[in-house]
Structure formats: structure tokens, C-alpha cells
Amino acid sequence: MATIKDVAALAGISYTTVSHVVNRTRPVSEPVRLKVEAAIKQLDYVPSAVARSLKAKTTATIGLLVPNSLNPYFAELARGIEDYCERNGYCVILCNSDDNAEKQRNYLRVLLEKRVDGLIVTSVGGDDSGLATGLKAVRTPMVIVDRGLEGVDVDLVRIDHEQGAYLATRHLLELGHRDIACIGGPAHTRVAQMRLAGYQRALQEAGIVVSASRVLESDFTSTGGYAAAVQLLADQPPSAIFAGNDMIGFGVLRAAAERNLRVPAELSVIGFDDIQMSRYVYPALTTVGQSILQLGETAAELLLRRIATPQLPADQRIVTPSIVLRESTAPLAGVFASNR
């Protein structure tokens, strides 16, 4: 592999001058710059990122920590973050913790050891995962996405989970449904708790007592949603189901199809997040959400602003989701309503 001294020898100048051209640390004449660039091209020289970062005290890299890269929500979020960073001269290092708190802590340490210029964190588990304690000591510019962490005063971008679930349940109520079940995410996670609270608030406002048998816990996957829906639909199916995210909703659609329950004629289903895939399942899933790509871009924008101006006060962007009407919800039909 060619070195900076090889470039200098071929160009017939000092390696210090080559360094100035590569790192743009001092003006050089146009003829010299062209000779250096020609030598770099001929030798296929790749500058050392480590050396450049030591000189500039910046790595032009962002660390992104996600809990599950198989979940399309986090894939779309990462794309929005990557697109914005790429346009602004930053690379993104993606670390997937597989919903494992220990792996999350290890990746956080690795990113900090690599001296990333900033961190974007979407966290694993509940408040007992240890992440909040670990992040309190971090001095690297940081943005948290999806949910806040107690005692960590940094920039935050998230959907209003409680309000989104409230809107989803209100939508079902306005269609005439009264027997509305909920398949939520893991009960120890703050996101699942907020979404469950929104569902409960909507039913309580409508004067409907929430039956414990109509609230099931799952994980945020289609497999988990399917298993919970099989249990829920086994005896007396509800007329509608609020799924804690779109992936759970997909599992519900599969379970309903296996029982020959027609969606939405016999069962309405609404999800949460509005991932791209929700447009293409059959029937297309009604959901609540906002542009996930835009959410990622907003997080990246806040982080780069924080890197440029560390002294700014912490900023919180709470995005209110809206109903995205598709094919999986419909008014409670008269013939079925009389039996409910």
C-alpha cells in the first residue's frame, strides 16, 4: 500500500507539502496541488483516517445505536440519518444491539473509543437496562431518538407515543367499535407503556371499561403479534385490534386470515409507525405515524448542530402523529354489530 512518502517521492516534493494538500491545512500553489493529485491517483494512495483525525481532532463519523436492525422502522430511521449525514460530509457507523442491554453497552463503549464526533441512540429495554447511567457520563454530543431517558439531558426526537395510540383508538371508536383489543409491546419498555396509556385513555373517555383479557403483551415483531392474535381470536374475537406497531399488525392480519376472519369486514386492525411495508400488505394497514425518514433527518440535523455549537440548551422535538387511512379499518357492520 502506498504511503504519503511514496506520493511525495513521485511528485518530487516534500511529504509535508503532500500532507498540506491532503488535509487542506495550508494553501499550496496550483501546479504543486495538481502534481500531488496526479501522484495520488497513479499510486492509488488512501490517506490514513486515523492520522487525519489526530490532526483535525475530528473523525467526521457519527455513531448510530439501534436495538433491532431487522425492524423496518429502524432501517428507515437509519436511512434518514445516513442521508442527512452524507450530504453534510459525515459517515455513519451502525451498531445493532439485538435488543440486548449488555451488547448495547459494549457498542456504546466501542463507539466512544473510536472517537466518533457524535452519537444517535435508540435504546433497548426499560429504564433498568443501565443505558441512562452510562450515558450520563458521556461528553460526546448526543441525540436520543424514540424515548427520553431519566436524568439524561440531551437533544431528543420522538413521536408522541401516547397521543398516537389515543388517535388510533379514537379512530376505531368513531367507526362504531366498542370491543377493541390491544396487542402492545414489551410491558417493561417506556414506548409500550405510553402507547398502552393512549389506548386506555381513549376507551375511558368513551366510558368503556378495559377488560384485562383484551390487553395482551407481545414484542414488537410480526411473530409476536401473530402469537398474541392467535390467542386473542381463539374464542370470542373483538371487532377491532389496536396493534402496538405495524409489525405486530402484520402478525394480526396473518392470524385473522388463518381463521377466515375478513379484514376489515369482520375485524378492523390499526397499527403504529407507518413503515413503508404497511402500504403493501393485504389489506393495506391503517396506521398512525409520521415520516420515519424525516424523523431520522431531524435527529441528524440536531446532532450536527450540537457538534457545531455544544453550548446550546437541550432541544426536544416531540412529533404528533396522524392517522394514515388505508384498507384494514371500516365501520362496524350492522350484522356483526348486533352480535357484539
Q: Please spell the DSSP secondary structure of 66-107, one letter per residue.
A: ES-TTSHHHHHHHHHHHHHHHHTT-EEEEEE-TT-HHHHHHH
pTM assigned to the model = 0.81
Q: What 3-state DSSP class applies to 121?
A: strand
Per-residue tens of pLDDT for the chain, all 340 residues: 778 888 889 889 887 888 888 777 788 889 888 988 898 888 888 776 555 555 556 788 999 999 888 889 999 999 999 999 999 989 999 999 887 878 888 888 888 888 899 999 987 555 445 666 667 667 889 899 987 666 677 889 999 999 999 999 999 999 999 999 999 999 988 889 999 999 999 999 999 998 899 999 999 999 999 999 999 999 899 999 999 999 999 999 999 999 999 999 999 999 999 999 999 999 999 999 988 999 999 999 999 999 999 888 888 899 989 999 999 999 997 545 544 5
The order of strands in the sheet holding 61-66 is: 91-96, 61-66, 118-121, 142-145, 155-159, 316-319
Are the C-beta atoms of 239 and 261 separated by less than 8 Å? Answer: no
- Give burial (CB, 10 Å; 0-12/13-18/19+) of 29: exposed
DSSP run (H or E) holding 327? none
Cβ 245 vs Cβ 321: under 8 Å: no
Longest dimension (CA), the chain: 91
Separation of first and last alpha carbons in the chain: 74
The rounded Cα 270 to chain-centroid distance in angstroms is 20
pLDDT given for residue 124 in this prediction: 55
Strand partners, 252: none
With vertex at residue 81, the alpha carbon angle to CA 78 and CA 87, rounded to the nearest 5 degrees, is 135
Separation between Cα atoms, residue 208 and residue 234, nearest integer Å: 23
Distances (CA, A) of 157 to 2, 100, 194, 196, 228: 44, 22, 15, 20, 30
- Name the phi and psi angles at 143, rounded to 5: -130, 135
